[in-house]
Structure 1
Amino acid sequence: MTSELLGRTLVEEATKKSGLIWAGSPGAPARALWHVWYEGAACVVGDGPGEQPLPSLTDGANVEVTVRSKDKGGRLVTWTARVVELASGSEAWEAAVAELKGKRLNAPDGEAMVERWGRECRVVRLEPVGSTVPLPDGDLAAAPLPTPATTRRPVPAAVPRLLFKRRGRRG
């Protein structure tokens, strides 16, 4: 009981303080999302023009949420969440949107964004279920994909002579 309570407290405090979480279905790549912690869940808005995509957040699904440290950027905690899509215009939707609109930066339509969210976007709650997921032991960094854009080729032999040749002095 105590470890479960500590786990929930860790999830809440870490998620409140972090401005960014990663959420995704197990086995699928996680997506970075801005969010607001409100009434025991992380609330996100997206899937509309100019908003973040929410590809794996379908109503009723379980997703893994990873929270990073705001100052160091490292992984703090990973937890399982149940996705609950809020109906546009409902009391829960209005309350969540009131919190989200204060955190939305650089909205193209200013105060009209709430109406746009109601018409064109989804507002989703990520509610913690169960306990936290153990942190992995190994390094999770993936090697970058090979690309010719990052390959440096040798400088042609004539370039230094062209760049650094002495110009004749005019007198």
Structure 2
Amino acid sequence: MSDTRWLSAEEMRAWRGFLAASALVNRALDQQLKDDCDLSHPQYEILVRLAAEPEGELRMTELANGLVNSKSGLTYQVTQLEKAGLVRRRTCPTDVRGVFAVLTEAGRARLAEAAPGHVAAVRAHLIDVLTPEQLTAIADGLGEVSSRLRATGH
């Protein structure tokens, strides 16, 4: 263990700050979505991703990769959305193994209902707390972390 690069006090401060802030922001956003429109944060993100697609649909594997979620975790969330009538599934006509998640009109309506409160919560708990310089530093730094982890398959 002599070659371990232990964290300095400032590195530990950054690490602990990241852990606490990410957990607290996620908890606050999840609670806001549950209270306002009976959605979990992962479910909201699925609706957002589907709504951003021209046809309102994505292959489940693409959706899982974009959300950084396991296939089983995504399957569970899509099943819950499907039961609520917000998403439906369809098979891929060119690949019998492929399944698409498709946003329904009810899903679009729920997303339109949820979005204003969610954006207000994101602003209140993260965006408006930071200076523009801090926001840029976080976006750049965490963007780099995400890029490197995606490039290595983690």
**Structure number with higher helix proportion:** 2
Bigger Rg, which one: 1
The alignment's TM-score, normalised by the length of structure 2, stands at 0.31
**Structure number with higher strand proportion:** 1
The alignment's TM-score, normalised by the length of structure 1, stands at 0.29
